[in-house]
């Protein structure tokens, strides 16, 4: 069990690094097409790549009938998140969005946990959440950006945080109905089915004919690395340690996003980013201390 816990923590840290890199990567993707068209490409690739992974790991894709409702709700929420997330990147501030979503998500997840399970955070979890809030406020430089939510596009990020937290609560029950990874595969299938009716197939065909390496490179990263591997590992973790503790790891994403922006885009790392990043890491440690 101790070895499994260490492996889970390692995979979650790697997943959060991938998520951090995905913010500038997804920002590039939004310049090529609408959230719906990008979503169709992403989930087609995710479904096929994750199916190969299931085959290699010899994991059956069958889930119990009792889990169909959870599956339908999770897949629908993922489709909504895909739209709000990419629309926020298109209309809002990607830097602010990365902080808003990642800071609010664990807090909302714990709030949902209290309402649904009547389980109050422990003393360490409470102080960890406070550190996470301080991390977010520091990263946002709230003293200079008090009206951050007044920007219309940033409201999509607020909605994204709520949707993701609710969805995490549903995926945390996936182990009851079969393999959590198989559940996630079916969830992506439902997500794709939800997106298709709203897709512009002329736009999709035009993107298919694109030979732009920047588009295909970022699409493959967003699909295979970020979603198939990192996001699936996150949902697997929610089934093992609960949506609340799994979501706490998201506090580290803004720091990894800032580091990746430095290496990929050449953006300077400022003092408030370093302080906020370490506060986020301290929040994860405090919440998962035991």
**How confident is the model at residue 249, as a pLDDT?**
81
Residue 155 CA to residue 157 CA, distance in Å, equals 5
**How confident is the model at residue 146, as a pLDDT?**
59
Residue 52 CA to residue 58 CA, distance in Å, equals 10
Contacts of 164 (CB under 8 A, 6+ apart): 77, 81, 101, 105
**How confident is the model at residue 93, as a pLDDT?**
65
Residue where the block lists tokens 């929610």: 238
Assign 3-class secondary structure to 230-281.
Answer: HHHHHHHHHHHHCHHHHHHHHHHHHHHHHHHHHHHHCCCCCHHHHHHHHHHH
**How confident is the model at residue 33, as a pLDDT?**
85
CA geometry: angle 219, 205, 159, nearest 5 deg? 50
Note the pTM of the prediction, 2 decimals: 0.81
**How confident is the model at residue 50, as a pLDDT?**
93
The domains of the chain are located at 2-287
**Number of neighbouring beta carbons within 10 Å of residue 202:** 9
Per-10-residue mean pLDDT, the chain, length 290: 76 85 79 88 93 90 88 92 81 66 77 74 80 77 63 75 86 83 92 92 88 90 90 85 77 75 67 77 76
**How confident is the model at residue 186, as a pLDDT?**
94
**How confident is the model at residue 148, as a pLDDT?**
59
**How confident is the model at residue 77, as a pLDDT?**
93
């Amino acid at each position: 069990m101790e070895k499994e816990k260490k492996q889970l923590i390692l995979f979650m840290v790697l997943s959060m690094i991938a998520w951090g890199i995905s913010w500038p990567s997804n920002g590039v993707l939004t310049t090529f097409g609408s959230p719906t068209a990008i979503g169709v490409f992403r989930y087609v690739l995710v479904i096929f790549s994750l199916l190969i992974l299931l085959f290699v790991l010899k994991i059956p894709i069958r889930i119990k009938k009792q889990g169909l409702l959870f599956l339908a709700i999770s897949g629908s929420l993922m489709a909504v998140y895909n739209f709000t997330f990419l629309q926020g990147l298109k209309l809002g501030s990607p830097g602010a969005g990365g902080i808003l979503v990642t800071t609010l998500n664990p807090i909302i997840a714990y709030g949902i946990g209290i309402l649904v399970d009547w389980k109050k955070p422990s003393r360490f979890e409470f102080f960890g959440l406070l550190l996470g809030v301080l991390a977010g406020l520091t990263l946002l430089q709230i003293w200079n950006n008090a009206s951050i939510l007044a920007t219309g596009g940033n409201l999509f990020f607020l909605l994204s945080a709520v949707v993701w937290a609710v969805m995490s609560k549903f995926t945390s029950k996936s182990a009851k109905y079969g393999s959590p990874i198989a559940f996630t595969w079916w969830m992506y299938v439902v997500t794709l089915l939800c997106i298709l009716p709203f897709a512009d197939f002329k736009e999709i065909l035009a993107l298919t004919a694109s030979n732009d390496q920047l588009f295909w490179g970022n699409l493959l990263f967003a699909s295979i690395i970020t979603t198939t591997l990192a996001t699936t590992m996150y949902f697997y973790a929610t089934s093992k340690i609960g949506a609340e503790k799994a979501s706490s790891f998201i506090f580290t994403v803004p720091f990894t996003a800032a580091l990746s922006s430095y290496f990929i885009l050449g953006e300077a790392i400022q003092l408030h980013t370093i302080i906020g990043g370490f506060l986020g890491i301290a929040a994860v440690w405090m919440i998962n201390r035991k």
